[in-house]
Amino acid sequence: MQDFETILNNKILLVSLVACFSAQGLKLIIELIRHGKINFRFLVSTGGMPSAHSALVGALATGVGLIRGWESPEFAIACLFAVIVMYDAAGVRQAAGKQARILNQLLDEFLHDTHHLNTEERLKELLGHTPFQVLIGLAWGITVCLLALPVL
């Protein structure tokens, strides 16, 4: 039980989670502004503005840099981890989402042309992020870390 309390006292972990969850909450607010209605699926969905993954790793790397030092091996690890996560969000997962969109269109056309009544579950199209969404997520994570870390 003592180990669990130690984990909860990890400031870098807490500020990273705050950045991630607050970015996820921002998605709900942004969608409310854009479409005028609340869609709670955005609280648990991937993709969208801003990237919660980028906010998490941005806050993580910033927190490690501030606490352990910008020249530390821990910062180097956190920084490279952040780059990989953000590259994956804007690259690989974005491409997978585009492929899902095309496959869904093909499926729709096939089912429409053949008048099949049996429809398969649609592939999830909103998987990744645009580079701008990743950049905004990173900026959000850094900002949350700079504001929240001294308070914790």
Is 66's pLDDT higher than 80? yes
Note whether residue 44 is domain-resident: yes
Note whether residue 101 is domain-resident: no
Note whether residue 113 is domain-resident: no
How much is the pTM?
A: 0.76
Note whether residue 85 is domain-resident: yes
Q: Looking at residue 112, what is its pLDDT?
A: 63
Note whether residue 109 is domain-resident: no
Note whether residue 110 is domain-resident: no
Q: Looking at residue 57, what is its pLDDT?
A: 98
Note whether residue 121 is domain-resident: no
Total structural domains within the chain: 1
Share of the chain above pLDDT 70, in %: 74
Q: What is the b/e burial string over 89-125, where b = at least 16 CB atoms within 10 angstroms of the residue's CB?
A: bbeebbeebeebbeeeeeeeeeeeeeeeeeeeeeeeb
Tell me which of 36-40, 41-45, 69-73, 118-122 is least confident: 118-122
Q: Looking at residue 90, what is its pLDDT?
A: 78
What span, in angstroms and rounded, lies between the C-alpha atoms of 54 and 141?
7
Mean pLDDT (whole number) for 12-24: 96
What span, in angstroms and rounded, lies between the C-alpha atoms of 14 and 151?
11
Note whether residue 104 is domain-resident: no
Mean pLDDT (whole number) for 33-37: 82
Is 117's pLDDT higher than 50? no
Q: Residue 20 is part of which domain span?
A: 2-91+128-148
